[in-house]
Amino acid sequence: MRRPVLLVIAHGSRDPRHAATVHDLVRRVRSLRPGLRVETGFLDFNIPSVKGVLESLDAEGVRDVVALPLLLTRAFHAKSDIPAVLAEAPPRLRIRQAEVLGPSPLLLSALEHRLYEAGLTPADKSSTGVVLASAGSSDPEAIAVIAEIAREWRHTGWCAVRPAFASAALPRTEQAVRELRDLGCARVAVAPYVLAPGFLPDRIARGAAGADVLADVLGAAPEVARVALERYDAARVPVLAAVGA
């Protein structure tokens, strides 16, 4: 029995950096699991579309697919957009939607590595306040998850950690930076909890103007690729069980 194809589903963006980063991440996933077929589909703006990839897989005779939302929280796209697209797939395809990437301890490790790449060291943790800057969502579940991640991350040794949002919720990045300054942290760092560059990550970067350190987006960090494979493995077991593998 062949392993199910992994279909990575990204949102898509008019910003070409977004698709380039998604493809970099997918290449990283392939490098960690040689022999696993990994395809990429976009919900909007970029090609190939999710619908087009699913139709191509069906035409090739593929029958089992694990669809992985390239998302950090379980908000509108994971709950509505992606299930709707998958429901329109060719009926011969057996598809399971994997869980979104976050939260995961591996993603916290990726955030810290990005901060160290930006100039911090582990010795700086106790005197550094961190803004966990996400894209934002109108979904209260997603906002609550970001707040909980910030609380958990604070317990790993940082002076303080505050969540911030580029849209749909408060505080904004610049407000969180000021709050950490007022708290007395010796330095303030902004860690974008986003996967790829684009409009909202650029807003986060502008809001970080008053910080001492701005980390890069998570992008193709090896930890992100490992989480993707963890989500694939968790979803593929029921797929194989359903077909008697």
User: Looking at residue 239, what is its pLDDT?
Assistant: 54
Q: Which residues of the chain have pLDDT under 50?
A: 240-245
Q: Give the Å distances, CA to CA, from 104 to 72, 215, 225.
A: 9, 19, 12
Q: What was the pLDDT predicted at 76?
A: 77
Say whether 61 sits in a helix, a strand or coil. Answer: coil
- pTM, 2 dp: 0.94
Residue partners of 120: CB distance under 8 A and separation at least 6: 128, 189, 213
Q: List Cβ neighbours of 77 (8 Å cut-off, separation of 6 or more).
A: 11, 43, 69, 71
For position 237, what pLDDT does the model report? 81
Task: Say how many C-beta atoms besides its own lie within 10 A of residue 1's C-beta.
Answer: 9
